[in-house]
Amino acid sequence: MFRCGIAYPRCRWILPLLLVFAIIFDIIAIAAQTGWVEDENAKTHYANMWEQCRGRNNNWICKSLMEYSWAQAVAALMIIGLIVLVIAFIISCVALCCTLNIMLLPLIGALLLLVAVHQIIALIIYPVKFNEQIFEGNYDYTWAYGFGWGATIIVIGCGILFCCLPRYEDHLSGIAKTKYIYTSA
């Protein structure tokens, strides 16, 4: 009565959809104005990827972080990661949604792992250098910084799946018979 199996053809639509979510999360992290970090208690200081602001009650004095080489590196790594992620998404749509092109899947997986490396480096550099050069008390990392990590985690998972999918070409194309994990009589 009850059958449970893995439906590989669903991967053809789910993986590009996950890449769309990763792109959205990256855009949110890069474009966030509220900051990646904010002062824990007084809420008088916050910093995003581009600038840091001090003040209170709509009287904010903002200063660009782009004068620091580490902030430039973080911005460059995140933007390069986003561009490569968009390219990987376009290739994944061609490889999975239009026609099934198994030869492109390892390339997509490699691109996604390259994106993950870039973003992990950027997301580690930022708090280390922020704490070294700007830190003045207790800070909380906000949801915008979390979206950066969320995109990175999605990219790592999708990269692994894209590298593993060529083994299941018959399953993806629907030629192979579904193997059921559990069947009850």
Where in the chain are the domains?
9-178
Please check the confidence at residue 2 and state whether its pLDDT lies above 50: no
Structure tokens at 135: 């830190």
Confidence category of residue 181, pLDDT binned at 50, 70, 90: low
CA distance 155 to 170: 25
Distance CA 135, CA 84 (A): 32
The answer to whether the beta carbons of residues 84 and 115 sit under 8 Å apart is yes
**According to the per-residue pLDDT averaged within each range, which of 78-82, 96-100, 137-141, 178-182 is highest?**
78-82
- Output the CA angle 21-24-27, nearest 5 degrees: 150
pLDDT tens string 123-154 = 999 888 888 877 677 778 888 889 999 999 99
Higher pLDDT, 69 or 59: 69
Provide the pLDDT for residue 99: 77
pLDDT of residue 1: 35
Per-residue pLDDT reduced to its tens digit, 26-57: 999 999 877 788 877 757 788 888 888 888 77
CATH class of 9-178: mainly alpha
Between 105 and 156, the higher pLDDT residue: 156
Per-residue pLDDT at 152:
96
**pLDDT at residue 87 in the model:** 96
**What tokens does 75 get?**
């911005």
Q: What's residue 29's pLDDT? A: 92
At residue 184, does pLDDT exceed 70? no
Percent of the chain with pLDDT over 90: 37
CA dihedral 15, 19, 24, 28 (to 10 degrees): 120
Which token pair is 147? 């979206």
